[in-house]
Amino acid sequence: MATPVSIIQTSTTKDAAGFVSTTDTVLACVRAYMEMRHGNEVWKNRAAFSEATFLFRFRAIPGLTVTTSHAISCSNVRYRILSVEDVRHKGMYLECLADKVESTVR
- The answer to whether 62 touches 83, Cβ cutoff 8 Å, is no
Counting the structural domains of the chain, the total is: 1
Looking at residue 41, its pLDDT comes to 59
pLDDT of the residue at 8: 93
Check residue 73 and give its pLDDT.
92
For β-strands 77-87 and 54-59, DSSP reports them as unpaired
CA-wise closest residue to 52 among 101, 98, 102, 100: 98
Render pLDDT for 81-95 as a digit per residue (tens, 0 to 9): 988 888 876 678 898
What element of type H or E holds 41? helix 41-44
**Residue 17 pLDDT:** 87
Q: What is the mean pLDDT of each run of 10 residues along the chain (106 residues)?
A: 89 88 91 80 60 86 90 90 81 86 69
The CATH number linked to 25 is 2.40.10.270
Q: Quote the pLDDT of residue 49.
A: 54
Give the pLDDT of residue 46: 61
**Residue 44 domain boundaries:** 3-100
Q: Which among 61, 70, 84 has a CA at the least distance from the CA of 10?
A: 70
d(CA 4, CA 34): 10
Give pTM, 2 decimals: 0.79
